[in-house]
Structure 1
Amino acid sequence: MDIQQQRDWMESRTVLRDADERSQSLELRFKYVARFEKLLRRPQAPEVLEILRRYGRDCIPIPCRTERHYWSVSCLPSTPGKALVRVNASWMELFSLYADGEGIRALFVVHLSDFTADHSLDHDQVDEAFLEHCVVTPEDVSYFFPRGEDMFGIKVRGFSSISKFLAEPRALRAIRAFNLTHMNRGRNAYQASHCYSLADHMLSDEGC
């Protein structure tokens, strides 16, 4: 994609033409089947898969063409307190879903400047009113400042609030901008941990 195509996609002004078929590694597909089946036995599985489907459809450019080589999804259901699933690009963790009781919570990593009132890197300028607007109740959202310039971590609790956050145009644009930043940095460092069974759900709306 050229810069203009990326900008148009980020602003929801165009629908990009994706590949008709996926490039797959059968070895990797079978490698993580047991982990995926373990995830399916968890009570959070339906919500995890639905949020991943929306994330794959709305937040990753040409996801079929770029699968594994420029982004990947890892299935990590075994460690209590750790992420159930995680989406990566380049060397960056973009998005994670965790168990929260019987439900789920999400972690989005984005550019700080997309969530400050003046688009600066000033921690004191975080637009908290906008963050609260993006979720069902203010208690469902919190944030922190990861290491690194122009980095912002947003935690969203509950399926309904995660869904609302993904549907908010300004938040979606920010997610897309951050994902493009890291996909443009080159090949994905996490290719070996890609779970095709999870990706099947992420790409179920793409027809590839």
Structure 2
Amino acid sequence: MISEKINALGFIFDQQLDVKGRISISDLFPKSKSRCGLYLLSFSDDTFYIGQAIDTVRRFSQHQKHHKYIIKLWFQPLNREVLNISEKRIIELAETSGLLLTNKTFVSNIIGETDLDLIISSNEQYEWLENNRDISNESYNLFGTIDLKYKIKYRQNFEKFQHLNNYTELKEILSIYLSKCIPANKKTEMSFWSLSCFPSTNSGTWPRYFCLNINSMEVFVLGYEKKTKIPYCFMIISNRFNKDKNKISKLNKKYKSIIIEKSDYRAAGADQIRLHCTDLQDLKTLILSENEIISSIKEMNLRLMRKGGTIYSPFHCFDLANDVTHVKLKD
């Protein structure tokens, strides 16, 4: 029941405030009463929003300007220094309990219409994720239309990458990932995902060949340890593959080079896992034939794309993206 779920979050269901039609709640929170804490909003369509505020009265009025259908409010007074950690914990708990949240941060799934729906219909997204149905990229060619000044920005990095002895293998791995795990990769390129080539992150210890970003986070990184030259990779994926309790142990037996551990990216929500791999052949097999892993990668990527465009588009390497998206994969 909703009441039990709300009580479990630390709010008291019976202390709900009726705020339907209000533009201010100043009378409900006089100056003598604490306004600092967490709040829970209930909307007329049975969705909810959890937030934090130093001044809940002011924050409510801001919400009301954009959301006219707020009907209930719950408040939980907290000290300012614990707001961030408490908000994250309660949002994750609420989503796990089944409350339909309209939050964009700390949640795994996004409710309602998104920018992605404007170029890929919600039905196409569903069919791509659940039934592996491809989404057409026909007639989309960003590389052919973008100004030269943007293409040459990271051309030196790309040429350096291209001259590596193992470039063909690295290129094939990235091509497989983009083909299988990014919906309509040409339609969504740069707006919803970006690809950096030889980024400077950890260049002194763990250099990166490339980093694929979606929304505000990295989802697929491949590089090498500078001292040993041993390759490494990590991917951020959902828990979808782990329905079988023995799945992780089975994967570890089959692939000696992989490590699966907890992940804590703000944009990914509560349902996220980091998968490490130090063998390129294992990595290639994982993203080519392990359907449960592929499905988990796809679910994470689609969730992030539904949250909005990537903030890393200024670092997109058009040459690398063009090279790998024109690879014809082997059957």
TM tier, smaller = 0.7 to 0.9
Please state how far the C-alpha of 1:126 moved relative to its aligned partner. Answer: 7.6
Task: Report if the CA contact (8 A) 2:235-2:274 is conserved.
Answer: yes
Correspondence 1:34-73 to 2 at 5 A: 34-73=156-195
In 2, the alpha carbon distance for the partners of 1:161 and 1:179 equals 21
Superposition map of 1:147-162 within 5 A: 147-148=264-265, 149-162=270-283
Gaps of 5+ in 1: 119-124
| Offset from partner CA, 1:182-205 (integer Å, 9 cap, x none) | 111111100000001110122114
CA distance in 1, matches of 2:138, 2:306: 18
The equivalent residue for 2:23 is: none
**Alignment partner, residue 142 of structure 1:** 259
Shift of 1:38: 1.5
Which residue of the partner structure matches residue 141 of structure 2?
A: 22
2:97 is aligned with 1:97: no
- Any unmatched runs of 5+ in structure 2? 1-119
1:88 aligned residue: 213
Matched position secondary structure for 2:234: strand
Note the C-alpha offset of 1:5.
1.6
Which of 247, 250, 274 is 1:127 aligned to?
A: 247
CA RMSD of aligned residues (A): 2.2
Shift of the alpha carbon at 1:114?
Answer: 1.8
1:72-92 CA-partner distances (Å, limit 9, x unpaired): 100016624132101011102
Q: Which has the larger radius of gyration?
A: 2
Residue of 320, 324, 327 corresponding to 1:198: 320
Structure 1: distance between partners of 2:304 and 2:199: 25
Distance 2:242 2:326 in 1: 34
SS of the residue corresponding to residue 307 of structure 2 reads: coil
Q: Deviations over 1:47-80 (max 9, x none)?
A: 2111111111111111111110110100016624
Between 1 and 2, higher relative CO (CA 8 Å, sep ≥ 6) is seen in: 1
Q: Which residue of 1 aligns with 2:304?
A: 182
Secondary structure in 2 aligned to 1:84?
Answer: strand
Structure 1 length as normaliser, TM-score?
0.84
**1:6 equivalent in structure 2:** 125
Residue 172 (structure 1) aligned to one of 288, 294, 305:
294
